[in-house]
Structure 1
């Protein structure tokens, strides 16, 4: 290589090189990755507002999912329910969630998180409100299905929306905090059931009944409908806007976040050009054109885009993580919801007959069980079991980033599987309550770790689809778990308990193959 002294370089060439170097320096000065841009907004009021709203929406989903379990003992006579019917009522919302999780999630990857949240939360609230007026079992079942379609859409999109506002050094902790709002929804549903369902209120005539458990269902729709209204005031996810080529809008949202977080800041937000990561600094034009092509033919190509996004998840390098997440989601939901949704029914049986819930076998088609609303012990037990989630949530908030997502997930699934194994061996209602609370506490660890892992494993362009697909696998597990309980609980409840325990252990061992995402950049 021939080296030239500066004096040997022609003056005009030297000037051109200096200008070029200066231009590159200016480019590098203003080109910022998304992780850097979101960190520069600071962490303050805006992020806490996002947490409050997304948390309220998560609570609304929990209330809607879990509320039906608290009305089964009271609705038994109004709707002439058998154990098999109860299994379908517990399951049908998950059928809707399975449909909604995949469909809404893929739409959110192409048309935005905020718009899909508005629609799904509204469908959830209106479907549930309509169900409170239904007098026939099959119509009630249909309205719960529609409500479930809305819930299935909001859950994965809420977590995508929230995750994309979080800097990586706080992401694990804050997603864990968001996940705790599911517990608050559970507690709210159990508390409202304890207050409202035992009351002798409502209206009754030969043709129409609107009693306490229906009033309870109607009140439970307020969180979802109010969440939908509040999302009108929120911006779109800037990371989504950036991923579809709307760079200026993304920068404007981040600037607004900075201004809300720093109302008295002297220096302005100094980020002008943002890229998703350091690997794609020249892709904004390509992303913009790709998004224009999608939106021009959104009606005819939405299904194709959905399938293409799913295909990306099933090819290397995402295939391994996708398959493991689907397996873990299925097993934890089969185990958790297959048991949790039946806790009020099991508490009611223990209160009526004493001993273990497995000590007394009912005829599957029997609806005699004295058509009286269960006493306060059933609802007190449900409330305390819901409250048992609190220690698990606090544990994950403070230790998620220290111990790692995978370690907590494995521990939670194996521990909850062990707890379920002992339920048929208990002898009285106090032991039943204690083991149920232990299950609630330990299983919370697994759920929160899974929420963080699946939000971090997948890139922005497929994140909502991945979480929607995971939700679909989860709902399938919940459906089969509840149907299995409905069929087997009157044969001998030890059978579904052992099945639940085995699947939780299998899921825990499978999750050992997942990568660790602690403090890793999301793409």
Structure 2
């Protein structure tokens, strides 16, 4: 299937879904310090909120990864986005810690689920030559949504502080939370315009429906009647499901079959010849456990802490990176924004756009594996460079390189993994590979408290390990996906 107008529409709509999803996380990051001031939360409760969000993301990634292999891709997109919307609305009205934790958990489930479903759906509907390019566009629009939400939060923070102690508060963290969820409701409705994944229909042996979808895409792409589409047989294009589907309305039976088939898919991706690829894919995703927001926060605090450390006259001063400072650093106190921290975080995050643009230019030209390795090596060199310079401008440039390299890895790794698995297990492998990084991310948010130098060594190790693992992965650039 050649590239055309229909593909542009699908990529644009999926990109707007990614934009809406990406708006939520930075808003949550900003509102938690205000929530702590408003509800008098202690530090352990604040870190527990972030840990609960990441735990929900671990559950959501695995749950929706297995669900889309069992019931289809398209119908799960609005479900995840509605979960995000309902969670943000519930959070905006929450008054107790139980409801806050529950809302944050569901929010994490929806965000991670949407991230998985969108990528699996989109990769299955794209032509070979534009596959990598369009998946990078998806992440680029997500980054733009993340930056836009940060900008909106920055504009609203002064007025939120102004109304902090008033009984009537037309502007507060609750309003900002609700605003973050509204785009997800709009895009959940808009996803009804997306066609069903033809690869998944072929996997389910629904050949007539798959042919109808392909004819529809062909007609829109070429402005011709669907009857002129020349392909009449789709046999052997996609490895079909080997089992006949029995229709039943018994919920217990449905759940039992779902669990059995999920276990079968997991065994399949953990057996030869996929065993080695699965292990490498899990390792590469595991190395992405901090997440782009927390890497930018780490880098922002690192620059501030090292600058203060260099200015300090105390010989025994220690540069420390702690989760409390990362989580609450946007406010100096409940009445004053830390403008330096917020502006530094905002401007450093712009490097993510630079990384995505570089990837956009070269991902379908240069081998995906080579791109991943080069970016990882540059990021590692920049990390180690932080240890040998005290010049602020040089440190900022090195930080921009680190963040750009990290986001290139975050985008490239899922593409490499998805291309190496057939349609019946593609969602399952993405879901499984994201369980461990989210669990480790949740754990670190509870206990992170390390020295700056140690954190630099850890970050350089993460980037270098991704290079080593990525070099062993099969590369399907400009080749058909594995079926």
Bucket of the pairwise TM-score, normalised by the shorter protein: 0.7 to 0.9
Please give the residue correspondences for 1:166-315 in structure 2 after superposition, counting only pairs within 5 Å. 166-200=126-160, 211-264=171-224, 268-277=228-237, 287=242, 290-292=244-246, 297-315=253-271
RMSD across aligned C-alpha pairs, in angstroms? 3.4
State the match for 1:327 in structure 2. 283
Distance 2:274 2:170 in 1: 50
Deviations 1:138-167 (A, max 9, x none): 532331111001112111111111011111
Distance 1:157 1:301 in 2: 21
Point out where structure 1 has 5 or more consecutive residues left out of the alignment: 1-38
Does 228-237 or 454-463 show the bigger shift? 228-237
Corresponding residue SS for 2:234: strand
1:209 shift after superposition: 6.8
Does 56-65 or 249-258 show the bigger shift? 56-65
Corresponding residue SS for 2:65: helix
Give the 3 Å change call, closer, same or farther, for CA 202–119 of structure 1 in structure 2: farther
Does 116-125 or 457-466 show the bigger shift? 116-125
1:198 shift after superposition: 2.6
Corresponding residue SS for 1:339: helix
1:364 shift after superposition: 6.6
Task: Verify the 8 A CA contact 1:69 1:341 in the aligned structure 2.
Answer: no
Point out where structure 2 has 5 or more consecutive residues left out of the alignment: none
* TM-score, L = length of structure 2: 0.86
Give the 3 Å change call, closer, same or farther, for CA 434–463 of structure 1 in structure 2: same
1:412 maps to 2:375: yes
1:516 shift after superposition: 1.2
Give the 3 Å change call, closer, same or farther, for CA 140–423 of structure 1 in structure 2: farther
Deviations 1:288-336 (A, max 9, x none): x623479985333111111111111111111111111111101122375
Corresponding residue SS for 2:229: coil
1:112 shift after superposition: 0.8
1:130 shift after superposition: 1.6
* TM-score, L = length of structure 1: 0.80
1:420 shift after superposition: 4.1
1:476 maps to 2:439: yes
Corresponding residue SS for 2:102: helix
Corresponding residue SS for 1:158: helix
1:410 shift after superposition: 2.3
Distance 2:296 2:111 in 1: 18
Distance 2:160 2:223 in 1: 52
Count the aligned residue pairs: 473
Corresponding residue SS for 1:254: helix
1:498 maps to 2:452: no
Distance 1:200 1:350 in 2: 30
Partner residue of 1:339 out of 286, 295, 317: 295
1:429 shift after superposition: 7.0
State the match for 1:52 in structure 2. 12
Distance 2:291 2:162 in 1: 36
Task: Verify the 8 A CA contact 2:323 2:446 in the aligned structure 1.
Answer: no
Task: Verify the 8 A CA contact 2:23 2:145 in the aligned structure 1.
Answer: yes
Does 358-367 or 412-421 show the bigger shift? 358-367
1:63 shift after superposition: 2.3
Task: Verify the 8 A CA contact 1:68 1:89 in the aligned structure 2.
Answer: no
Deviations 1:170-225 (A, max 9, x none): 21222222222221122122111222223247866788977533322221112322
Give the 3 Å change call, closer, same or farther, for CA 471–361 of structure 1 in structure 2: closer
Deviations 1:237-289 (A, max 9, x none): 111111101111111111111122122569711222213528x6xx6xx75x6
State the match for 2:347 in structure 1. 384
Corresponding residue SS for 1:140: helix
Task: Verify the 8 A CA contact 2:85 2:182 in the aligned structure 1.
Answer: yes
State the match for 1:9 in structure 2. none
1:136 shift after superposition: 4.2
Deviations 1:454-489 (A, max 9, x none): 22111100001111112223322432343343xx05
Give the 3 Å change call, closer, same or farther, for CA 373–256 of structure 1 in structure 2: farther
State the match for 1:95 in structure 2. 55
